[in-house]
Amino acid sequence: MEDIADKILEKTAKTKERYEKLTELVSDPDIIADNREWKKLVKERSAIEEVAQEYDKLKKLVDELNTSRQEYEKETDHDLKQLFYDEIGSLTKQIEDKVEEMKILLLPKDANDDSNVIIEIRQAAGGEESALFCNELHRMYTMYAEKKGWTTEIIDLNATELGGIKEITFMVKGRGAYSRFKYESGVHRVQRVPETESQGRIHTSTSTVAVLPEIEEVEFEIEEKDLKIDTYRSSGAGGQHVNKTESAIRITHLPTGIVVSCQDERSQIKNKERAMSILRSKLYDFYQGQIEDQYKADRKNQVGSGDRSERVRTYNYPQGRVTDHRVGVTSYSLENVLNGDLDLFIDALTIKDRADKLANAEF
C-alpha cells in the first residue's frame, strides 16, 4: 500500500505546486484587474483545491509512518516498542483509507459538474400521451431542483391544447446541478392507461430528455458574423403586449445550423441573452463531440430517436414502479419519484460511473 501511496504523492506533487502558484496569482493586483483571466484562474484553483489538500494529509501520514518505523527499530523498551508498533498499524490503516479517497479524487472529472444545467424535454412516440408525460417530467425535475435548493427558469415552451408539452427548454441554476442532472439524458418511457382510452388498455409512450451544461461567456466566444437573429411574436399567455410586440428571439448559428429560441421574457434583450446562453452550451457540446470525433454518435446515444425500445428509465403506472435500466434499480414509489425523489437513481448512476472509471484507472 505504501508503494501506491508514494505513486499517488508523486502523481499529485505537480498539482500541489500548481495550486500554490495559483493561490499567488489570484491575489496579484494585475491579474485581478483582468476579470476574465482572474475568473479563469480562480476556477482552475477551485478544481484542484481538494487534491492539493488531500496531498498534504497523505504526505503527513506517510512521513509519520516513516518516523514511527524508525523509532520502532531503535527502541529497546518493550512497552514503548509496542506503542510504536500499534501506531504503525493505525497509520497504515489511515494511509490505506486516504489512498482510496485520493483514487476517487484523481479520476477524470467533468469540468462542467458545478455548472448550471439546461434541460430539453421533447415529445416522442405516443402522440398526446407523450406530450402529457413531458409535462410530468418537467414537473418532476422542477420539484427535484426545489429539494436541492436550486431555481428553475423556463426558456422556451411549446404546449399542446390539452395541457401537454411538445417541447420545453428550461434552466436549473445551482452549484452542482449538472453533476446530478447529466444522468437524466436519454429516452424516458411511460406505461399507463390514457384518460382517453375507453378500453382500459395500457399504452407505452416515450419522451426524450437532453441535458447540457450552461457555458459561461468566459469559456466560449461566438462570432457575431456567424449568427442570424430573427424576432417574432411570442405564443402563449401574455395578452395584448405579446400580440403586438416581437419580443421572442430565434438565433441560427450559420456554420453548424444549430437553432435556438427564447420567448419567455417580455424583453427582447433578455430573450436574446438567454438564447445566447443556450447557443453557447449547444456549441460547446457540438465542438467537444467533434474533438472526440463522436458528436453524432454521442447525441444518438444521449437522446436516441424516441423509439419505444430505446430507453433509460421506465415509469409503470399500473404497477406503481420506476426502473432505471442502466443500473437495474427499481423504486416502487412512483408517486414519490414523480414528486422529485430521484436520488435513488442518480446516486446509483454516480456510483456506477465512478466504479467504471476506477476499474479502468492506473495508479
Task: Please tell me the number of Cα atoms within 13 Å of 84 on its side-chain side.
Answer: 18
Q: Of 105, 131, 150, which marks where a domain is finished?
A: 105
Terminal C-alpha separation, the chain: 11
For residues 131 and 180, membership in a common domain is answered with: yes
For residues 147 and 59, membership in a common domain is answered with: no
What residues make up the domain containing 29?
A: 2-105
For residues 6 and 95, membership in a common domain is answered with: yes
Domain assignment present for 135 = yes
How far is the C-alpha of 337 from the C-alpha of 184, rounded, in Å?
A: 13
Task: Please tell me the number of Cα atoms within 13 Å of 85 on its side-chain side.
Answer: 8
How far is the C-alpha of 249 from the C-alpha of 267, rounded, in Å?
A: 10
182: enclosing H helix or E strand: none
All cell numbers assigned to 298: 454521442
All cell numbers assigned to 361: 484507472
* CATH number of the domain where residue 37 is located: 1.20.58
Domain assignment present for 76 = yes
For residues 187 and 88, membership in a common domain is answered with: no
For residues 86 and 38, membership in a common domain is answered with: yes
Number of domains composing the chain: 3
Helices (H), ranges, the chain? 2-25, 29-33, 35-74, 78-105, 128-147, 177-181, 239-244, 268-291, 295-303, 334-338, 343-360
Tens digits of residue pLDDT in 254-279: 888 888 888 866 677 888 888 888 88
For residues 25 and 95, membership in a common domain is answered with: yes
What number of other Cβ atoms are within 10 A of residue 43's Cβ?
15
**What is the model's pLDDT at position 43?**
85
Domain assignment present for 296 = no
Q: Of 105, 125, 143, which marks where a domain is finished?
A: 105
Domain assignment present for 297 = no
How far is the C-alpha of 115 from the C-alpha of 293, rounded, in Å?
A: 24
For residues 56 and 182, membership in a common domain is answered with: no
**What is the model's pLDDT at position 112?**
83
For residues 268 and 141, membership in a common domain is answered with: no
For residues 44 and 193, membership in a common domain is answered with: no
Contacts of 362 (CB under 8 A, 6+ apart): none
Domain assignment present for 258 = yes
* CATH number of the domain where residue 151 is located: 3.30.70.1660
How far is the C-alpha of 8 from the C-alpha of 59, rounded, in Å?
A: 10
All cell numbers assigned to 150: 436550486
Q: Which of 116, 94, 100, 99 is closest to 6 using CA atoms?
A: 99
Collapse the DSSP code of 231 into the 3-class scheme (helix H, G, I; strand E, B; otherwise coil) and give the result: strand
For residues 274 and 349, membership in a common domain is answered with: no
Domain assignment present for 88 = yes
In this structure, what is the dihedral angle of CA atoms 110, 112, 117, 119, given to the nearest 10 degrees? -50
For residues 124 and 261, membership in a common domain is answered with: no
The DSSP symbol for 122 reads E
What number of other Cβ atoms are within 10 A of residue 298's Cβ?
15
**What is the model's pLDDT at position 273?**
82
Q: Is the pTM of this model over 0.85?
A: no
For residues 17 and 72, membership in a common domain is answered with: yes
Percent of the chain whose pLDDT exceeds 90 = 53
Tens digits of residue pLDDT in 281-318: 888 777 766 655 544 454 455 544 445 446 899 999 99
Domain assignment present for 111 = no
How far is the C-alpha of 23 from the C-alpha of 5, rounded, in Å?
A: 26
Q: Which of 228, 222, 221 is closest to 249 using CA atoms?
A: 228
Domain assignment present for 112 = no
| Phi, psi (rounded to 5 degrees) for 199 | -85, -5
Angstrom distances, CA of residue 242 to CA of 58, 245, 250, 280: 61, 5, 16, 27
Q: Which of 250, 234, 253, 230 is closest to 242 using CA atoms?
A: 234
Q: Of 84, 105, 126, which marks where a domain is finished?
A: 105
State which residues of the chain have pLDDT below 70: 1-2, 196-198, 217-221, 234-246, 264-266, 288-310, 363
* CATH number of the domain where residue 251 is located: 3.30.160.20
